[in-house]
Chains A and B, each alone.
Chain A
Amino acid sequence: MSIYDEINEQKLDALKELGNIGAGNAATAISTMLNKKIDITVPSTEIIPISELWKEFSDPEDVTAGSMVEIGGELHGAILFLLGTQETKKILELLMLPRPEDLTQIDEMTSSAIGEVGNIMCSSYISAISNFTGLNIHSLPPKITVDMLTAIVSESSLMVTEGSDFVILIRTDISIEEYEGNVKGFLIYLSDEKNIRKLLKTLGMGTNND
């Protein structure tokens, strides 16, 4: 049975709620660290064919900083933290770090600083899932890249699903107090079908096949 037939509105809502809790935790962590108000919204939870991932973003070739933190233990998946180049520079500045001229040419220190912010966001998300579900899971070291938006999401999805056709994407929009209007920030929970079934089962929403 395809994941499309199995996952109904109710289950997607449960996943969206999980995304809310995880992202909420992440926002609190970053907000404490930067001493700024951070707002988050979870606009969508979707099952997306990998072949159509490119349709997800209005500007797929935007240069974006991405940190990917994989989930290890009883559940496999990943949290991806994506932030536009200007927003990334702003955060580095707020952390009293030198503001890089060009994010595509960053040194080791800046790269690990971006990774650390990503790590804090993603690990908070992961520990919220762990607390909520009771699953014994942990975060793996962050992987960092600065590249085209769609490419980061596609590549991470491929790494998480190891070549399956669908990915579950819980997307969170992030906005930072000082930015009015459109902040290009996302947190994305990526999972393959098998692990999303496992996750739903722990939430008491298993399928008949389980």
Chain B
Amino acid sequence: MTESKKKIIGIGEYIVDKNPTILVTLGLGSCVAVCLRDKKNLIGGLVHIMLPESRSSIKDEKIGKYADTGIKAIIDGIVDLGGNLKYVEAKIVGGAAMFKNSNNSLNVGSKNVEAVRKILKENDIKIIAEDTGGNRARSVEFNIANGDLKVKKVGGGEKVEITVI
């Protein structure tokens, strides 16, 4: 088995890479990790978005922060590396409302998920798996080799539970 290298993606950042790579991002609260993968050419990308829409009024903004610009960046990146949109599938994780008695974060989380769904649909990219909403934060590891998305979430017993979607 080839050793996959792990690359960590911070809030508002994105990476597109070829197999073998595992893309990692930590601490998704209301943020959403959008994972796209060309299953034929084994090229994939992950963007850790914070907000649904970019604000064009502000210059030098990081494009990975927003659903609209971030997803576009990943799509372009996959094409640049020789991928074909025809084979691209999506998995999305995040959009939680972590804090009790807070309406603010609840709105941001669900709005982010909504925006992501809409943009993927516009680009004819199918969401094949997702773990969104709820009130738990998540960390993810996205394996470009097989498309496995490992989701870590605090479960019972004060432990971090791992599921693969």
Partner of A104, one of B26, B27, B62, B155: B155
Contact A165 B29 (CB under 8 A): no
Specify which chain B residues have a CB less than 8 angstroms from the CB of A155 in the assembled complex.
27, 29-30, 98-99, 105, 137
Residue numbers of A with Cβ under 8 A of B are 49-54, 60-61, 63, 68, 85, 102-105, 111, 141, 143-148, 150-155, 158-159, 163, 165
A-B contact count (CB 8 A): 110
Give the A-binding residues of B (Cβ under 8 A): 8, 10-13, 26-31, 50-51, 62, 65, 98-102, 104-105, 108, 135-139, 152, 154-160
> Given contacts A51-B10, A147-B154, is CB(A158)–CB(B29) below 8 Å?
yes
In the assembly, what is the distance between CA of A95 and CA of B107, in Å? 35
Question: Known interface pairs A63-B154, A104-B158, A152-B137. Does A54 touch B27 (Cβ–Cβ under 8 Å)?
Answer: yes
Contact of B98 (CB < 8 Å), options: A51, A105, A145, A163? A145
Which chain A positions have C-beta within 8 A of B160?
61, 63, 148
Min Cβ gap B11→A in Å is 5
Task: With both chains docked as a complex, state the minimum distance between the C-beta of B104 and any C-beta of chain A, in angstroms.
Answer: 6
Most buried by B among A52, A143, A151, A152: A151
13 example contacts (A-B, Cβ-Cβ < 8 A) are as follows A50-B50, A51-B13, A54-B11, A102-B158, A104-B158, A111-B100, A141-B101, A145-B135, A151-B27, A152-B27, A154-B11, A158-B108, A165-B12
Query: Which residue, of B30, B51, B100, B105, has the highest number of chain A Cβ atoms within 10 A?
Result: B100
